[in-house]
Amino acid sequence: MKRYRAAIIGGSGYGGAEIIRRLLIHPEVELARVASIDHVGQPLGAVHLPLAGRTDLRFEDLAPAEAAAGCDIVFMGLPHKVSAQKVPAVLDTGVRIVDMSGDFRLRDGSAYARYYGTPHPRPDLLGSFVYGLPELNRAQIRGARAVASPGCFATTIELGLLPLARAGKLRGVVQVTGITGSSGSGVTPSIGTHHPVRAVNLKTYRVLDHQHTPEILETLAAAGAPGIQLRFVPVSAPLSRGILATCFVQVPAVETTASISDLYERAYASEPFVRFVRDRLPEVAAVSGSNFAEVGFALGEPESDGGARTLVVVSATDNLIKGGAGQAIQNMNLMLGLSETLSLEDSGPWP
């Protein structure tokens, strides 16, 4: 018999489907119910087709406290701004929470208002959630009652830059291009995600104004890089899932391939889901469908004045798994005192 029970509030999207799939194969956690205002009464497999016949559960229209009743943990899969309205009722039940929206990732209410376009609905709760990046906050996540699971771009970029921040080598301006698949835009179709256009197109969006920017800055500052500036350009690509982030960092001319490699080897040698690759650069196909991230780099020659070298850090994730639902499951495992790899160890398809 499984030891723990979980519920999902907002389980009709792509992230919800991935959480459901992972919970159905989890050896220690039983999926008790899935709440949603969409598809009420329909079997989960009628909406998430690969789940057909795997469970008798149906989508239920439940109040947050009803969804949480009798459970040990609740996944909040609601949109930004909506989640903040529902979370307090779940917190009042005493159940642990993993929130997948951006509503509780930030500590700065003014940054939330700027990047999400509205004052925070519950500013009194800002700072009460642990930021759910295990590679930085594993100990805090283990003891947390509420975790804010990171965004997909944020996870990918942070994992690329975290070793530099910890070593005090991340300073000044960091320039980033992040290429992402269409599933990151959610299940509801739009002009930008409609396949006939997306499949033949590349375009930038929210240039220098993406909502993950303050999240990345807060996280890297906590890791040891206060005061850096981020110039982030996201790119919409003709693939359904995956993120490839390319970060440009200036480092002193004395840095070498060996010295930078040593930082990344020490940072990720014992991490179960981050691969530091040295013989090639990361690729989306190597991580798609899995909870793994890849990180690698290329180091340029010293500039003519001998003052700096350009370090290009490349990182790749599956935006729906390590960048979303998989990392949420990883956080749940830690919060419940389980092995953090449970239900996440598959390597994904190739190609």
Question: What is the secondary structure of 144-196 as a DSSP string?
Answer: -SEEEPPPHHHHHHHHHHHHHHHTT---SEEEEEEEE-GGGG-SS--TTT-HH
Tokens describing residue 189: 């179709």
Q: What kind and span of H or E run contains 325?
A: helix 325-335
- Sheet strand arrangement including 243-251: 203-204, 229-236, 173-180, 243-251, 309-317, 293-299, 274-276
pLDDT tens digit sequence for 137-157: 999 999 999 999 999 999 999
CA distance 122 to 318: 30
Least Cα distance to 216 among 264, 170, 262 occurs for 170
pLDDT tens digit sequence for 266-300: 999 999 999 999 999 999 999 999 999 999 999 99
Q: How confident is the model at residue 346 (pLDDT cuts 50, 70, 90)?
A: very high
Q: What kind and span of H or E run contains 294?
A: strand 293-299
pLDDT tens digit sequence for 180-201: 998 888 888 788 777 888 899 9
Q: How much of the chain exceeds pLDDT 90, in percent?
A: 93
**Which residue out of 44, 152, 223, 243 is catalytically annotated?**
152
CA dist 119 → 2, 82, 116, 126, 313 (Å): 41, 13, 8, 12, 34
Q: How confident is the model at residue 235 (pLDDT cuts 50, 70, 90)?
A: very high
Note the pLDDT of residue 307.
84
Residue 228 pLDDT > 80, yes or no? yes
Residue 317 pLDDT > 90, yes or no? yes
pLDDT tens digit sequence for 28-54: 999 999 999 999 999 999 999 999 999
pLDDT tens digit sequence for 101-114: 999 999 999 999 99
CA distance 66 to 46: 23
Q: Do residues 88 and 123 lie in contact, with contact meaning Cβ atoms separated by under 8 Å? A: no
Least Cα distance to 169 among 282, 256, 51 occurs for 256
pLDDT tens digit sequence for 237-257: 999 999 999 999 999 999 999
CA distance 185 to 277: 29
Residue whose entry in the numeric block shows the structure tokens 């909502």: 211
Note the pLDDT of residue 189.
77
Region 319-348: mean pLDDT is 97
The question of whether 71 is a catalytic residue gets the answer no
CA dist 158 → 55, 120, 217, 350 (Å): 36, 24, 9, 26
Note the pLDDT of residue 15.
94
Q: How confident is the model at residue 98 (pLDDT cuts 50, 70, 90)?
A: very high
Spell out the domains of the chain, with CATH numbers in brackets: 4-150+324-335 (3.40.50.720), 153-317 (3.30.360.10)
How buried is residue 8: exposed, middle or buried, by Cβ count under 10 Å (0-12/13-18/19+)? buried
Residue 351 preceded by cis peptide, ω within 30 = yes
